[in-house]
Structure formats: structure tokens, C-alpha cells
Amino acid sequence: MRSTYLVPFVMLAACGDDPVNYSAPVGIELKAKSGDVAQDAVTEQKDITTETSNPYGAFISDATAKLGNHAPGSIGLDQLTLTLGAQSTGVTTLEEVVTGDVDVAFLIDNSNNTYDAGHVMNPTGVGPVSLDPDFDWTMVASTDVAAILNGSFKVALRTPAAVGFATKGASASLQVTFTFAAFK
């Protein structure tokens, strides 16, 4: 898996382009189970298009319509949060599940290229905890552009497991919520 480290989205927005569309919150629920911890790490992933009503697909469709049936020229990430869902069992706070650098990335289906979406260090409480978005469209390989626009990627969460999580018999609902921006 190729990892690409990216420049913060803030720099993309500073280039002068105004977004033509923002997404409604795009939530992805990742289930982290104690028994799935491997090498002291929580690693979960899920397709961006799998949630009810496919809010990411709706965002791309709306942006395409606003651009006169042309795909967005680029996609940015305006906001990114992490929340411990109420469906969790055996844990009541994020720090009981994760510790250290919580990394959220986009994993492209065909190429397996990875693009950082955002990070947060040592999240606490139930959230929502803001992550620092660092997705940079200019770093996306030309062969991956169509995959991102078509929703052919997974949201991947990687982080060290909190001490004791692996043996707790717990199931954590880690809800990652994005607000995307589309540019001409």
C-alpha cells in the first residue's frame, strides 16, 4: 500500500477558488471490536458509498449538476470529526478505544493508493472530536481522480489501540463524519 503525505486542505482553499458545492455531513460508521485488534492497532475500513442514501454520491451528483453536468475539477475536505457512537458496548469514551495518532485516510479501490484525510492526537470523551483535515487534491494521482469522483474508495481508520481495549470484549462504533467541498 502506497502512502502519500499531504499538504493541509487550507492551502487548497487559499488558492482563490470558491467551492461550488458543500456536502451534507457524510458519516461512515466503522465498527472496532476488541477481538479485531492486531499488533496493538485498530484498523477498520468501509466503502464511502455504503451508508444509507449514499450522501457522498449525492454530494458528487449535486456538484456535477451545479457545474452544468461536468464533474468537479477537484474535491476538498472542509471538516472531519470522530465520534464514539451510542451503539458501542463495553466502552464509553474514545480514549478507551484509541490512543496516539488517529489517522483517517482514503484507500483507492483499484490502485490501493492511500491519501491522508486527517489526523487527531489522543482524542478524549465521546466527541465529536475535530480532526485536522489534510487531504490535498493536488497530490491525487491522475489514475485515481475518477475513482474518487465515482466513490470507488474506502475510508480507513488506523490508530494504536488503547491499553486494555484488545481484551475488553468491547465493540466501538467509530463514526467518522466528513464535510466535502467541490471546486470547478
Express each pLDDT in 56-86 by its tens digit.
999 999 999 999 999 999 999 999 999 999 9
Phi-psi region of 171 (alpha: psi -120 to 50; beta: other; left: phi over 0): beta
Find out whether 123 and 148 touch, Cβ atoms under 8 Å. no
DSSP H helices in 45-118: 55-66
pLDDT at position 30? 97
Q: C-alpha grid cell for residue 51?
A: 451508508
Q: How far apart are the first and last CA of the chain?
A: 30
Q: What is the mean pLDDT of the chain?
A: 90
Report the C-alpha gap between 3 and 89 in whole angstroms. Answer: 32
Confidence of residue 16 (pLDDT cuts 50, 70, 90): very low
Q: Which residues have a Cβ under 8 Å from the Cβ of 114 and sit 6 or more positions away? A: 1, 2, 3, 4, 105, 106, 107, 108, 156
For 102-157, the pLDDT digits (tens) are 999 999 999 999 999 999 999 999 999 999 999 999 999 999 999 999 999 999 99
pLDDT over 60 at 3, yes or no: no
Collapse the DSSP code of 171 into the 3-class scheme (helix H, G, I; strand E, B; otherwise coil) and give the result. strand
pTM: 0.87
Q: What is the pLDDT of residues 158-171, one digit of tens each?
A: 999 999 999 999 99
